[in-house]
């Protein structure tokens, strides 16, 4: 397991390389490793990896509890479809998605995300991203994630963008209208 953690930390570093002029300070490699250990201890933790000769991508996370506590701190009213899927236990929280930059990264990202959702019989993926991390937000939107608003945890100063990834046509239809949310844009938005 230690070897895999090191490989994942290498993948994190490669996938989060900062572009020139990017002012956002990403967590360090060690912060990523420490966070991964904490996530692995959560009930229902799961990970999907994609590799060829080397580790190309991974996604990991845990099921969202049906009591809605994952959404605590959401600014405004949670979209009804998201709340209903949460109560039904059909939401999976993505702690991170790491894709080594290459021409097929969009397809690989979709594959690992869909595999994790399918494996957990989830209809909706959910994630929180620091609103200052424009690179991560742009990548998620390009992979089909929809921005549904802001969320702030009481214990920290960070304001997050809450994003969801519907799996399947029925779920997408239930969430129609979420593609262009104020302050965050829709898929591929700013």
- Express as a percent the part of the chain with pLDDT over 70: 79
> Given a cut of 60, is residue 75 above it in pLDDT?
yes
Q: Beta partners for 146?
A: 164
161 confidence band (pLDDT: 50, 70, 90): very high
Mean pLDDT in residue range 77-100? 92
Per-residue pLDDT at 181: 37
* Inside any domain, residue 184: no
Per-residue pLDDT at 190: 28
**Whole domain around residue 68: which residue ranges?**
2-18+27-174
Per-residue pLDDT at 117: 94
How many Cβ atoms from other residues are within 10 Å of residue 184's Cβ? Answer: 20
* Inside any domain, residue 179: no
Cβ distance 144 to 112 under 8 Å? no
* Inside any domain, residue 117: yes
Alpha-carbon gap, residue 130 to 159, rounded angstroms = 6
* Inside any domain, residue 104: yes
Tokens of 76: 């405004």
Alpha-carbon gap, residue 176 to 179, rounded angstroms = 7
Q: Where are the alpha helices (DSSP H) in 62-168?
A: 80-87, 105-119, 134-142
Domains identified in the chain, total number: 1
**Which carries the bigger pLDDT value, residue 53 or residue 73?**
73
> Given a cut of 60, is residue 172 above it in pLDDT?
no
Which CATH number goes with the domain that contains 167? Answer: 3.40.630.30
> Given a cut of 90, is residue 95 above it in pLDDT?
yes
* Inside any domain, residue 189: no
* Inside any domain, residue 71: yes
Per-residue pLDDT at 19: 59
> Given a cut of 80, is residue 16 above it in pLDDT?
no
Q: Which residues contact 175 (CB under 8 A, 6 or more apart)?
A: 79, 81, 82, 124, 146, 164, 166
> Given a cut of 80, is residue 42 above it in pLDDT?
yes
What three-state secondary structure class fits 55?
strand
| Mean pLDDT computed over every residue of the chain | 82
* Inside any domain, residue 31: yes
18 phi and psi, to 5 degrees? Answer: -80, 140
* Inside any domain, residue 185: no
Q: Which of 11-15, 36-40, 142-146 has the lowest mean pLDDT?
A: 11-15
Per-residue pLDDT at 184: 38
Burial of 10 from C-beta contacts in 10 A (0-12 / 13-18 / 19+):
middle
Pairing of strands 159-166, 146-152: antiparallel
Among the ranges 1-5, 152-156, 167-171, which has the highest mean pLDDT value? 152-156
Q: Which of 33-42, 49-58, 158-167 has the lowest mean pLDDT?
A: 49-58
Among the ranges 33-37, 125-129, 167-171, which has the highest mean pLDDT value? 125-129
Alpha-carbon gap, residue 96 to 128, rounded angstroms = 9
């Amino acid at each position: 397991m230690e070897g895999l953690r090191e490989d994942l930390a290498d993948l994190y570093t490669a996938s989060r390389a900062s572009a020139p002029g990017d002012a956002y300070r990403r967590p360090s490699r060690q912060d990523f490793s420490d966070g991964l250990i904490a996530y692995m201890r959560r009930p229902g933790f799961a990970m999907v990896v994609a590799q060829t000769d080397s580790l190309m991508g991974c996604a990991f996370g845990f099921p969202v509890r049906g009591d809605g506590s994952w959404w605590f701190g959401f600014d405004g009213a949670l979209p009804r479809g998201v709340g209903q899927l949460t109560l039904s236990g059909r939401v999976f929280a993505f702690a991170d998605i790491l894709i080594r930059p290459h021409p097929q990264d969009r397809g690989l990202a979709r594959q690992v995300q869909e595999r994790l959702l399918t494996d957990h019989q989830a209809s909706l993926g959910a994630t929180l991203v620091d609103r200052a991390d424009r690179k991560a937000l742009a990548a998620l939107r390009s992979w089909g994630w929809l921005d549904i608003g802001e969320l702030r945890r009481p214990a920290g100063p960070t304001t997050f963008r809450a994003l969801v990834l519907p799996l399947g046509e029925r779920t997408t239809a239930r969430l129609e209208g979420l593609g262009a949310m104020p302050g965050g844009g829709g898929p591929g938005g700013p």
